[in-house]
Structure 1
Amino acid sequence: MAPQDKTQNDLPSPLAQVATGHWQRLLESWPQGMAALEPAQADELKTVLGLSDYIATQLCRHPDWLETLFGGELERLERQSFSTELANRFAGIGSEDEAKATLRRYRNYQMVRLAWRDFMGYAELEHSLLDLSALAEALVIAARDWLYLDMCRQYGTPMDAEGRPQPLLILGMGKLGGRELNFSSDIDLIFTFPEHGDTQGGRRSQPNQQFFIRMGQRLVNLLDQVTVDGFVFRVDMRLRPYGESGPLVVSFSGLEDYYQEQGRDWERYAMVKARALGPWTGYSDELHDLLRPFIYRRYIDFSAIESLRRMKQLIAQEVRRRQLTDNIKLGAGGIREVEFVVQSFQLIRGGREPALRQQSLFGAIDVLYHLGQLEYLAVDELKQSYLLLRRVENLLQAIGDKQTQTLPDNSLDWQRLCYGMGLADETELRQQIAAAMLKIHRHFKATVGGDEGEDKAEHWTAQLWNSQEAEDARALLSEQQLQDDGLWPLLSNWRDSMAKRAIGPRGRETLDKLMPRLLQELLGQQSPSAAFEPVARVLDQILTRTTYLELLCENPGARQQLVSLCCASPWIAAQLAKFPMLLDELIDPAQLYDTTSLDDYGSELRQYLLRVPEEDMEQQMEALRQFKLSQQLKIAAADVTGVLPVMEVSDHLTFLAEAIIEQVVVQAWQQISARHGLPPQRENGGLGFAVVGYGKLGGIELGYGSDLDLVFLHDNTSTDLTNGERPIEVNHFYLKLAQRILHLFSTRTTSGELYEVDMRLRPSGASGLLVSEIERFGEYQRDEAWTWEHQALVRARFVFGDNALAARFSAIRAQVLEKPRDKAELAKAVREMRQKMRSHLLKVSDDQFDLKQSPGGIADIEFIAQYLVLANASDYPELTIWSDNVRIFGVLAELELLPIMSAQHLTQAYCLLRDENHRLTLQQLPGLVATDKFAAQTLDVQNIYRAVLGD
């Protein structure tokens, strides 16, 4: 590209004013240098100062850079020189602070050169992306190599079993791997090393993995930490195996095992661009050979299309949820869709076509043309449209060194973009962007798939929706032999109320297209008028969010699921009305009813959170709530339709809660340790912290609206301080951790509260500490706890934390439950507690039965189990193994402490009453039934209660 023949005189007036302001500041800090500039140089400098605040800020801090920039470095930029120059600068550096300053100043100098060159049109876009990628790679490798030598001096050199030094290899992912990095991108990295072994030559040997994890932590800090000189790159490590919860660094064999056994489709997609950074070695070959079978199947793999389609749906959901507009990366026809088109071919055919196994999008798209997979016109349109969007993205980010793909919301930045693109005004640039995105989306739909068209012929329901007279509407309904007198008044009144709502012309047009299609679904129900009411409540909430109206309009499956689920469960209807983003879950019925496996909630949640910036606490909290809501919807949908056996509903709700608890604790730990550092004994891993679940969570019996009864424990007995910039006592650290966990649970975001948490079962109740030291907890349980607290302990279960604490908690629980007790005194205490609870909580009329509190109900059954465990565990320790009532009754029957028939009656009644409670919750009804509904079962329970506990 030839340099633009433009000067500061060509700048629009607002840009010229900005340039003048920056020029004055530069003049004050470097008067003699500015005076020495030639007129053409001064003119070009003023232009650049008006176009980029980032360039202006850096030059005002380092005006001496202008000497070399105007000394020919703008034209002579050679990406091959980055590594050599950095190696020279790192020679003799002794401290981490010096290393940080060197990396950041070099980065900023080179980024000024690159931004200047881009705005003035001195380089083709492809060269700019290559240069940015080469700069990032050189900075990462320079930091790695300096750190490796520094670490080896301190700890010795990591070796394999044969005495060969082991290096840290870094996989560059995404655009860094593809050598197509944009100006202000973060960088996705994965750290790995070839072989396990131990360090040699240090004062004390340590395992290679421990060495490399410590090195990885320091390397991320070297690059990511914001200092007075800024940062080098924001580093994202969440693409590593197991995401945030996985070790920071794993060996080659660990990588291979993970991708062979647990690698997901989205990880295959991510790995297409993976590339070992730095000088190529035999280890680089070995690493790529190891990954290839996971990325590229040996056969033509059309299953990749569906995976990519699903990923695109997830991105579209995210765009809707975050209400992103003018996003040239994620929107329809954006940069991501070009990547999907090319990478879908790579995943499908890369196993058969070695030429497709490359990280570069530009290279891969040319190969697709030569292989005949894409026509010349498609290649040309995709490439030119992609180049336009990437150039806009690059200039957009070079204005202020900010990571954004959203078009400006102010005229000043539009003028900067238009100048850099050589276009007259915002209108012309918007037209070019819109045309490019339209072409891209057309090719995306042709390749990866889009919405199937629907029959546009007017259906009679369109006449019904548009009817102005009641007689006409009734005649239409009569013609179709539909006898539902209540539908038309409901529909007519709702339509009249909608006419008064401000939903805009696009929303109105979409609603007019949607309603005839939705009416077709409603008229297929047993009672269309009854079905209309809950569906209308959902529509009320999304009328001003046209994207959701369009989703229902264009997706028959989503409409069908909306109607059927709203009819099946008012609770689901209320959830959809309260949280419209759940409509995204209705798009694919196969996905909706495919409930997550019990063991997979943790990994599903970790992958879900990968889509959210790690540092954005608000979005992380919102994502946790959205995940919970969407998974609860799937469980409820499978429940009401009979896909999920009712016996398994509580299991799913409990395992979902456990996965969320894990992530909440991990996030809280990261936030508190970032501020205060780590307890000294935790520097090498582990939390020294545990979450214990009581009540329904402990008994694996959560319902749809259950709160969480939690107790927090830690293992610290020292008075040490944490090792951060703001050190605090370790006990205080754990208190702050507990407070942060409760904050993350209780904060109300757009998607509501995560869970209501009840901490009253902790030692000393509401007056006790939020988090207890494990041995103090044991002492309290043994010496101070009331009988009702031991009853609660029967249903307590270790939920998340360190294995050592899990073992210790289980031992303490068993020890407390196994205490010898006087059975008569115990029975009296349990009876009194039950009577007290009933007098407080049972409020029903004579013809009603409270599923939980009425005699013979759920609470009676629970008290029977708790009494029998406390009364007999001293002689039969196996009674302390389980925390759920069904298994406890099984053990009691095996030990002949409860007649088999009694155990069966209690188990059947317990499951029957709990299932009915689930059903009523989904119908948004209280847990009350007619007295005679379960009379036989509850009479059996009352008889067993009296036999076990007395009157």
Structure 2
Amino acid sequence: MTDASFSARTSRSPLAHDAEAAADVARAFADLGPEAAGLLAATAGCSPFLKGLMGREGDWLREALAGAPEAALEAVLAAPARAEGAEALGEALRLAKRRVALLTALCDLGGVWPLEMVTGALTRLADLSVDLAIRVLVAEEIRRGKLPGAVPGDEVTGAGMVALAMGKMGAGELNYSSDIDLVCLFDETRYGDQAGEARASFIRVTRKMAAMLSDLTAGGYVFRTDLRLRPDAAVTPVCLSMAAAESYYESVGRTWERAAYIKARPCGGDLAAGERFLRALTPFVWRKHLDFAAIQDAHDMRLRIREHRQLNRPLTVEGHNMKLGQGGIREIEFFTQTRQLIAGGRDPDLRDRTTVGGLAALAAKGWIPAEVAGELTELYRAHREVEHRLQMVGDAQTHDMPVTAEGVARIAAFCGQDEAMFRAGLLDRLARTDRLTEGFFAPGETEALPELSDSARRIVDGWSHYPALRSERAQAIFRRLRPALLKRLMRAANPDEALVALDGFLAGLPAGVQLFSLFEANPALIDLIVDIAGTSPALARHLARNAGVLDGVIGGSFFSAWPGVRVLAEAMAAAMAAEPDYEKKLGVVRRVMKEWHFRVGVHHLRGLVDAFQAAKEYADLAEAVIAALWPVVCAEFARKHGPLPGRGAVVIGMGSLGAARLNAGSDLDLIVIYDAQGIETSDGARPLATRPYYARLTQAFVTALTAQMPEGRLYEVDMRLRPSGRQGPVATSIQSFTSYQESEAWTWEHLALTRARVLAGQGELAAEVEAFRRALLPEKGRGSKVRQDVAEMRARLQAAKPARGAWEAKNGPGRLMDIELMAQLAALLSGSPARGVERQLEAGRKGGILSDSDASMLLDAYRVLWRLQAGTRLITDEVLEPERLGEGARAFLLRETGEAGAEALSARLDLVTGLAAGVIAAHVGDGG
């Protein structure tokens, strides 16, 4: 706030349209000095309404303009609170309205205040008026004994009643002659079985408040009040319970109501209860998935408004509606709010109530170009200034330009311009707004379909019967989308094959409106879908079941650097912390995990990462899930049965998870170890003995990972590597674990321990487990029967899991499991704590167990086999049959393995697996 006087801060002025009216005011206010008197005179020459206010409030105006206008505003806003009783308050508010109207108009016209201060001052008066009216009228109800249980003093918080400011009032953007949109609610929980009686009282308060503010008296009016934005306004009372409102929005709320609540804000009465209601409404307003279908809803709404108001006419100055017409204010508001609805569910930073703030947030997050946000902001400000001058002429709630040349000339003068310049500038701004917003809203024309073969035509014709295309709305969007989809398919390596894969994707979609709207708004996604469908039918099927993962492509940093375990775990933990109950936490972690899992697959498919980087990222993701989810499961279990006895427990990743190398279809090998420190029973509402406590906690954790929820499951879990396998308890005490490993465990269990890695749980216990592992392995590697045990184990594995097909990467002599077994043996014999295959083979080489050539041959085989295995699991979860592979999938596997053709890859596989099998047989036997 500045202390400078009004006159010292004026920077512009209207041009007097009515010279006689201007001269009258110039004489009346000559004592104010040339700057202020000139501004008042020019204003009066354009606005009969403001001229009348100057005459009525002249003495006050002289005093107000002598100092800083901000101080004058504060004094005006402070006065109504001193009024006693409803009648006195009504008149005090009317006086305040006249003075605020005059002051804000002059500060606007003189360039003293920017748009936000002008609309902010009007909104502050509206907030004050609503709050004081509720207080006074609720106090009357309390005095009359009409509010059950309420006592004097409760009126300060409206006794549980709140008015929500909607639209421009909610955003602090009231225009000069705005009505105010309110939704009035009451907190029924304060009144129990007397809520019906309380509702009747609050209905009276609401009606009296609307009359107090809206009725025209000798003092004027305060604000025209509109209560029609409440739920189902045609049949509901003017004030209803929060429970009833919440039930309505959850069951039948529409997109336009969601858009309205972007700006909603408690403005009078029980503000805390109003904030609680808005928080409860968050899932209705802000959808968890990107909501591109809102674009079509907004477009339909625009067309209905234009049609209803007969605004579909050529762009001209005369009679143009600055709010609803082509290129008008509402276009910019819809553009902003619709984009906010699309992405605001995932990014709270986009939930700005103001139009200008919303545009800035969208630009900052990359949803719209910064230059578009800047231009629309400039256009919005200019449109609002014209709107204000239209309303200042006669204090009319109008947005229409005058229908006569004379009227247009008056508005031009009010804007400080000659008529020709004003007309040209206005038409240019309207056209620019229309150009920037129309392409976003208006669906494109339906193109003709490309030429299709008979078989392709039959597939395409069958799409209309799929669940995703049941609704007319989905069909309408898809008709526009289908030509582009098919044209891109024609560019695939094998169009017919890609079409069949796409057909499978569409058949698996449970619904289509959201996804088709997403494609229509983001055509680049069509290329991605065609690429996936033509290369990886398995990934396409996954996508059909989890279409929400595409949100991450549009709304996240999909192509940025991999964030690593810590950042992923923190993001998951934060997402779960934001959800109120346990099931929702499990749902949200599934959504986050699936988006990242899909990202890894797409990056691998498109060659942005290789098979080894993809393997690390899949493993990072699984570790992050475990690290974030374990404390959530523990907290939920502790809530029922008390805190974890003793030092708690740790979750240990075994197998490929422990080695930090997973593929797209990997399950998780886990064991849980705990230390109860002698505590026999938990201390909670439903205490459990220690052993069943940790067993049930482990089962709860496995369920959290594996349960099939609407968002799918996280992972399959295998716990057979725990002590005693399937027969052993699912959770093992540290004492039992160490004793078992030292005296009872088989060699294969020591081999498994070479890859064990603590992923979550109590830090001290985790360090103890790792120290034990490092001490145990060298001791067990010296056993006389280790090689013989491994030979027998190898034979059993090859008998149970023979190679299936020429391109089998995992099972069989010289293949992945065989090489991994040899690597684990090398680590055990050398006493190395290394977990990954490469480091274990290197430990074997350094320890003299493997020669340089043996290690090199095993490593060469492992690398090509892992690339093949990782690529295979991305393409299919079935046995890989090279002769039945599609062209896209075959090309992907050849690219991954670096071979020119299928025969070359087959020959290389024969060579490297034969050499590897020979090396392994030389060290442990031939597996026979």
Instruction: Find the counterpart in structure 1 of residue 498 from structure 2.
Output: 531
Say which of 915, 918, 923 aligns to 1:943.
918
CA–CA distance in 1 between the matches of 2:276 and 2:908?
62
Instruction: Find the counterpart in structure 2 of residue 694 from structure 1.
Output: 654
Q: What is the number of equivalent residue pairs in this alignment?
A: 590
Whether contact under 8 Å (1:856, 1:942) holds in the other structure is yes
Say which of 805, 817, 829 aligns to 1:871.
829
The structural deviation recorded for 1:551 is: 1.6
**Residues 73-112 of structure 1 aligned to structure 2 (within 5 Å):** none
Instruction: Find the counterpart in structure 2 of residue 890 from structure 1.
Output: 842
CA–CA distance in 2 between the matches of 1:755 and 1:176?
44
Which runs of 5 or more structure 2 residues have no equivalent in the other structure?
1-79, 88-136, 164-188, 214-222, 226-263, 283-334, 365-376, 391-429, 883-904
Say which of 644, 647, 663 aligns to 2:609.
644
The structural deviation recorded for 1:784 is: 1.2
The structural deviation recorded for 1:508 is: 1.9
Instruction: Find the counterpart in structure 2 of residue 16 from structure 1.
Output: none
Whether contact under 8 Å (1:842, 1:850) holds in the other structure is no
**Residues 383-422 of structure 1 aligned to structure 2 (within 5 Å):** none
Write the deviation string for residues 141-186 of structure 1: whole angstroms up to 9, x where unpaired: xxxxxxxxxxxxxxxxxxxxxxxxxxxxxxxxx9899999563544
Whether contact under 8 Å (1:369, 1:376) holds in the other structure is no
CA–CA distance in 2 between the matches of 1:635 and 1:178?
50
Say which of 340, 353, 363 aligns to 1:338.
353
Instruction: Find the counterpart in structure 1 of residue 879 from structure 2.
Output: 926
Write the deviation string for residues 222-252 of structure 1: whole angstroms up to 9, x where unpaired: xxxxxxxxxxx9999xxxxxxxxxxxxxxxx
The alpha-carbon distance between structure 1 residues 694 and 841, as it changes in their structure 2 partners (threshold 3 A), is: same
CA–CA distance in 2 between the matches of 1:858 and 1:546?
44
CA–CA distance in 2 between the matches of 1:72 and 1:927?
73
Which runs of 5 or more structure 1 residues have no equivalent in the other structure?
5-39, 50-58, 80-103, 128-173, 189-232, 237-305, 319-328, 350-367, 382-441, 465-476, 478-485, 682-686, 874-878
CA–CA distance in 2 between the matches of 1:552 and 1:308?
20
Whether contact under 8 Å (2:138, 2:155) holds in the other structure is no
Say which of 693, 714, 739 aligns to 1:779.
739
Work out whether 1:705 is the aligned partner of 2:705: no
Write the deviation string for residues 323-366 of structure 1: whole angstroms up to 9, x where unpaired: xxxxxx99xxxx946357525548999xxxxxxxxxxxxxxxxx
The structural deviation recorded for 1:884 is: 1.2
Whether contact under 8 Å (1:710, 1:758) holds in the other structure is yes
Q: Percent identity?
A: 22
**Residues 266-285 of structure 1 aligned to structure 2 (within 5 Å):** none
Write the deviation string for residues 303-332 of structure 1: whole angstroms up to 9, x where unpaired: xxx9999986444679xxxxxxxxxx99xx
Write the deviation string for residues 511-531 of structure 1: whole angstroms up to 9, x where unpaired: 211111212222222332222
Write the deviation string for residues 376-405 of structure 1: whole angstroms up to 9, x where unpaired: 478999xxxxxxxxxxxxxxxxxxxxxxxx
The alpha-carbon distance between structure 1 residues 893 and 347, as it changes in their structure 2 partners (threshold 3 A), is: same
The structural deviation recorded for 1:937 is: 1.1
**Residues 560-709 of structure 1 aligned to structure 2 (within 5 Å):** 560-587=527-554, 591=558, 595-597=562-564, 599-609=566-576, 613-615=579-581, 617-679=582-644, 688-709=648-669
Instruction: Find the counterpart in structure 1 of residue 789 from structure 2.
Output: 829
Write the deviation string for residues 584-639 of structure 1: whole angstroms up to 9, x where unpaired: 344479725765445532233234445x5232x33322222222221111111110
Q: Secondary structure at the match of 1:525?
A: coil
The structural deviation recorded for 1:744 is: 0.8
The alpha-carbon distance between structure 1 residues 507 and 377, as it changes in their structure 2 partners (threshold 3 A), is: farther
Letter in 2 for 1:627: V
Work out whether 1:859 is the aligned partner of 2:825: no
Whether contact under 8 Å (2:813, 2:917) holds in the other structure is yes
Instruction: Find the counterpart in structure 1 of residue 705 from structure 2.
Output: 745
Whether contact under 8 Å (1:688, 1:714) holds in the other structure is yes
CA–CA distance in 1 between the matches of 2:579 and 2:726?
36
Letter in 2 for 1:566: A
CA–CA distance in 2 between the matches of 1:115 and 1:901?
88
CA–CA distance in 2 between the matches of 1:75 and 1:707?
56
Instruction: Find the counterpart in structure 2 of residue 904 from structure 1.
Output: 856
Q: Secondary structure at the match of 2:558?
A: helix
Letter in 1 for 2:357: V
The structural deviation recorded for 1:580 is: 2.3
Q: Secondary structure at the match of 1:717?
A: coil
Letter in 1 for 2:837: N
The structural deviation recorded for 1:830 is: 0.6
CA–CA distance in 1 between the matches of 2:841 and 2:565?
24
CA–CA distance in 1 between the matches of 2:568 and 2:777?
31
Instruction: Find the counterpart in structure 2 of residue 551 from structure 1.
Output: 518
Q: Secondary structure at the match of 1:818?
A: helix
**Residues 309-320 of structure 1 aligned to structure 2 (within 5 Å):** 313-315=342-344
Write the deviation string for residues 672-713 of structure 1: whole angstroms up to 9, x where unpaired: 1222332476xxxxx722100111101112111111110011
Instruction: Find the counterpart in structure 2 of residue 503 from structure 1.
Output: 470
CA–CA distance in 2 between the matches of 1:669 and 1:126?
55
Whether contact under 8 Å (2:653, 2:670) holds in the other structure is yes
The alpha-carbon distance between structure 1 residues 678 and 525, as it changes in their structure 2 partners (threshold 3 A), is: same
Whether contact under 8 Å (1:851, 1:928) holds in the other structure is no
**Residues 713-792 of structure 1 aligned to structure 2 (within 5 Å):** 713-719=673-679, 721-792=681-752
The alpha-carbon distance between structure 1 residues 872 and 345, as it changes in their structure 2 partners (threshold 3 A), is: closer
CA–CA distance in 2 between the matches of 1:498 and 1:105?
52
Of stretches 619-628 and 642-651 in structure 1, the one that deviates more from structure 2 is 619-628
Write the deviation string for residues 477-525 of structure 1: whole angstroms up to 9, x where unpaired: 4xxxxxxxx7442233431451587723222211211111212222222
Letter in 2 for 1:884: G
Whether contact under 8 Å (1:576, 1:582) holds in the other structure is yes
CA–CA distance in 2 between the matches of 1:497 and 1:77?
52
The alpha-carbon distance between structure 1 residues 753 and 816, as it changes in their structure 2 partners (threshold 3 A), is: same
Q: Secondary structure at the match of 2:678?
A: coil
Which has the higher Rg, Structure 1 or Structure 2?
Answer: 2
Instruction: Find the counterpart in structure 1 of residue 384 from structure 2.
Output: 375
Instruction: Find the counterpart in structure 1 of residue 74 from structure 2.
Output: none
Whether contact under 8 Å (1:921, 1:927) holds in the other structure is no
CA–CA distance in 1 between the matches of 2:270 and 2:842?
62
CA–CA distance in 1 between the matches of 2:357 and 2:866?
52
RCO greater where, 1 or 2, for CA within 8 Å and sep 6 or more?
2
Work out whether 1:490 is the aligned partner of 2:456: yes
Whether contact under 8 Å (2:672, 2:732) holds in the other structure is yes
The alpha-carbon distance between structure 1 residues 543 and 730, as it changes in their structure 2 partners (threshold 3 A), is: closer
Q: Secondary structure at the match of 2:792?
A: helix
CA–CA distance in 1 between the matches of 2:268 and 2:784?
75
Instruction: Find the counterpart in structure 1 of residue 508 from structure 2.
Output: 541
Work out whether 1:915 is the aligned partner of 2:867: yes
Letter in 2 for 1:776: S
Whether contact under 8 Å (1:487, 1:528) holds in the other structure is no
Whether contact under 8 Å (2:162, 2:274) holds in the other structure is no
The alpha-carbon distance between structure 1 residues 635 and 108, as it changes in their structure 2 partners (threshold 3 A), is: farther
CA RMSD across the alignment:
5.1
Whether contact under 8 Å (1:543, 1:549) holds in the other structure is no
CA–CA distance in 2 between the matches of 1:72 and 1:604?
41
Q: Secondary structure at the match of 2:496?
A: helix
Whether contact under 8 Å (1:721, 1:728) holds in the other structure is yes
Whether contact under 8 Å (1:679, 1:721) holds in the other structure is no
**Residues 281-360 of structure 1 aligned to structure 2 (within 5 Å):** 313-315=342-344, 336=351, 338-339=353-354, 341-342=356-357, 345=360
